[in-house]
Amino acid sequence: MGADESALARASTVDGVLRRTAARSPDRVALRFGDREWTFAELDRGATRVAAWLLGLGLTRMDRVAAYGHNSDAYLLAFLGCARAGLVHVPVNQNLGGAELSYLLAQSGSIVVLADPKLAGRIEEVRAQIPARDVLALRGSEESALEVARDPDSPEDLFTDVADTDVVQLLYTSGTTSAPKGAMMTHRALVHEYVSCLHALDVGEGDRMLHALPLYHSAQMHVFLMPALAAGAYSEIVETPEPADLLRRIEENGITSFFAAPTVWAALSNHADFAVRDLSGLAKAYYGAAIMPVPVLERIRARHPGIGFYNCFGQSEIGPLATVLRPEEHVAGRMDSCGRPVLFVEARLVDEEGADVAPGERGEVVYRSPQLCEGYWDKPEETKEAFRDGWFRSGDIARRDSEGYFTIVDRVKDVINTGGVLVAPREVEDVLYRHSSIAEVAVISVPDPAWGEAVTAVAVLKGPATEDELIGFVRERLAGFKTPKRVHMVEELPRNASGKLLKRVLREHFSRG
């Protein structure tokens, strides 16, 4: 590669994004966490110091470094440092422990683990099962990544030959249907995704963005935090999304943009402080992982009519943003839509043979995009299965209308084969949600000796109802083969950090009886 080609390859890296913003707006405040603030120049120097520190441990290009911590400035600096050093960042769900934790650390081959002190004990419990040679602190000690980033005696200049085709992160899928797989994200894929986010979500230099969902999750990191840094906007990180604290910060710190799962928006709108806090500066309300309940949206709009809602949809493998329903598109008849593809994403709906389906018909969503991952880490068969004829098979079933708006119907692996007939869980769920006593419901398959798979509902109630009553309610409205054989009542449904329902957990639990 010639000098010009090498420079061009470095320019379209995650590392290059931060460098350019720091050069453009060095003294602008980039980030706040607790009582610490970082200008773009300070953040840029901090990333260099962390990169030099990691390379000083003997790590070499493409070595994996796991990050196991709660939201903090140190967590961001670890990612930026890995990107600058040419290393592969492996974000790990802070709630994992035991076998789940050791699986991710072992499967990724992480040589170093950067951990919050209060989580480090979980690493030691599985130390014999993982390849990591060093477990170091993200923060909380004098030798942590945070203190390295703040040390004025640490190096402030570093050259590494990082190309945009290099893998910069392994984004592990949420594992809703199978064991997590590490999507290999290149610098080039993430930079394209950042541009799509800037365009579709109206992110600009004047934004003041609050980040409360976990940074190990691709949505908070790559749809919001990194695009905000690219735009030169202000970012504020909080460790956990506590409603009263979030409402206070939005008012006192002039927050203009905030992303949360619909469950968090519902908690905010139901909180007593929602009626008294001045939230008039909040212009952009982002959500994803589930459809926003219309009553929640209407409650927020009634209090703050100028707010604009954005429904963000996608998956880890595409960076993760694939489609957006913008504020002007939140209209009657389209409230369950996830919008249209973003700038760098092509999307189609296909049948089982890969042929396009007609508007209004159900099909699997397939993507072609520079945002896509390079495949799954050390899983060639799964990679081959996911990528066919240049298109990525998402596993999502959707409909598309004549104007190009997508509405997600189900997951391919969630479809129930009962007695040789296919049943879409979403159709049964939509009926159950019409019952006045249903707060939440998930319809799953459970192995059955007679039917192969039995349609089974798992419900959270907000009023009195019996199993027979709910089964009868569905039978009156749907064909008999679509009617649940059983309805289980539970206190809550399992979800991951982004709010996505974990039907795999329900299937495993109720399949065991």
| pLDDT value at residue 167 | 98
SS3 category, 67: strand
Task: Indicate whether 395 pLDDT > 80.
Answer: yes
Mean pLDDT of 477-505: 87
For 87, residues 6+ apart whose C-beta sits below 8 A from its C-beta are 54, 59, 61, 62, 63, 64, 65
Exposed/middle/buried for residue 287 (C-beta within 10 Å: 0-12, 13-18, 19+): buried
d(CA 126, CA 310): 41
**DSSP annotation of 511:** H
pLDDT in tens, 247-288: 999 999 999 999 998 888 988 998 999 999 999 999 999 999
d(CA 442, CA 427): 11
Write the CATH number for 475: 3.30.300.30
pLDDT in tens, 350-366: 998 999 999 999 999 99
At which of 185, 206, 241 does a domain end?
A: 185
- What is the CB-side half-sphere exposure of residue 284 using CA atoms within 13 A? 22
pLDDT in tens, 181-221: 999 999 999 999 999 999 999 999 999 999 999 999 999 99
Assess if residue 107 is contained within a domain: yes
pLDDT band at 310 (very low <50, low <70, confident <90, very high): very high
Give residue for tokens 């890969």: 354
Task: Indicate whether 85 pLDDT > 50.
Answer: yes
Task: Indicate whether 86 pLDDT > 50.
Answer: yes
| pLDDT value at residue 176 | 46
Please spell the DSSP secondary structure of 242-299, one letter per residue.
Answer: -HHHHHHHHHHTT--EEE--HHHHHHHHHSGGGGTS--TT--EEEEESSPPPHHHHHH
Assess if residue 429 is contained within a domain: yes
Indicate the Cα dihedral angle 189, 190, 191, 192, nearest 10°: 50
Q: Which residues are bridge partners to 258 per DSSP?
A: 210, 285
Chain-centroid distance of CA 124 in Å reads: 28
Task: Indicate whether 448 pLDDT > 50.
Answer: yes
Task: Indicate whether 1 pLDDT > 70.
Answer: no
pLDDT band at 7 (very low <50, low <70, confident <90, very high): low
The total domain count for the chain is: 2
User: What are the φ/ψ torsions at residue 480 (nearest 5 degrees)?
Assistant: -60, -40
At which of 185, 200, 216 does a domain end?
A: 185
Which tokens go with 203?
Answer: 């992110």
Assess if residue 139 is contained within a domain: yes
Strands (E), 75-230: 88-91, 112-115, 134-137, 167-172, 182-186, 208-211
Mean pLDDT of 453-459: 94
What's the mean pLDDT when you consider all of the chain? 92
Its sign, for the CA torsion 290, 295, 300, 301, is positive
Where in the sequence is the domain holding 455, given as residue range(s)?
A: 415-511
Which tokens go with 238?
Answer: 């909080």
| pLDDT value at residue 417 | 81
Give residue for tokens 């420079």: 7
- Given a contact cutoff of 8 angstroms between Cβ atoms, the answer to whether 411 and 228 are in contact is no
Assess if residue 44 is contained within a domain: yes
Indicate the Cα dihedral angle 188, 190, 192, 197, nearest 10°: -170
pLDDT band at 8 (very low <50, low <70, confident <90, very high): low
**Of 461, 395, 104, 245, nearest in space to 473 by CA:** 461
Q: How many C-beta atoms lie closer than 10 Å to residue 434's C-beta?
A: 10
pLDDT band at 497 (very low <50, low <70, confident <90, very high): low
Write the CATH number for 153: 3.40.50.12780
Percent of the chain clearing pLDDT 90 (strictly above): 76
Assess if residue 239 is contained within a domain: no
| pLDDT value at residue 202 | 98
Assess if residue 349 is contained within a domain: no
d(CA 147, CA 259): 29
**Of 487, 506, 488, 486, nearest in space to 496 by CA:** 506
| pLDDT value at residue 424 | 79
pLDDT in tens, 29-81: 999 999 999 999 999 999 999 999 999 999 999 999 999 999 999 999 999 99
d(CA 146, CA 49): 10
CA distances from 389 to 175, 381, 392 (A): 25, 15, 8
At which of 138, 164, 185 does a domain end?
A: 185
For 203, residues 6+ apart whose C-beta sits below 8 A from its C-beta are 197, 209, 224, 227, 228, 231, 233, 257
d(CA 194, CA 86): 19
pLDDT band at 450 (very low <50, low <70, confident <90, very high): confident
Please spell the DSSP secondary structure of 300-320, one letter per residue.
Answer: HHHH-TT-EEEEEEE-GGGSS
Assess if residue 392 is contained within a domain: no
User: What are the φ/ψ torsions at residue 504 (nearest 5 degrees)?
Assistant: -55, -40
d(CA 348, CA 350): 6
Task: Indicate whether 291 pLDDT > 90.
Answer: no
| pLDDT value at residue 454 | 92
SS3 category, 82: helix
Assess if residue 191 is contained within a domain: no
Top mean pLDDT of 32-46, 140-154, 294-308, 431-445 is at: 32-46
d(CA 447, CA 498): 28
pLDDT band at 2 (very low <50, low <70, confident <90, very high): low
pLDDT band at 10 (very low <50, low <70, confident <90, very high): low
- What is the CB-side half-sphere exposure of residue 303 using CA atoms within 13 A? 20
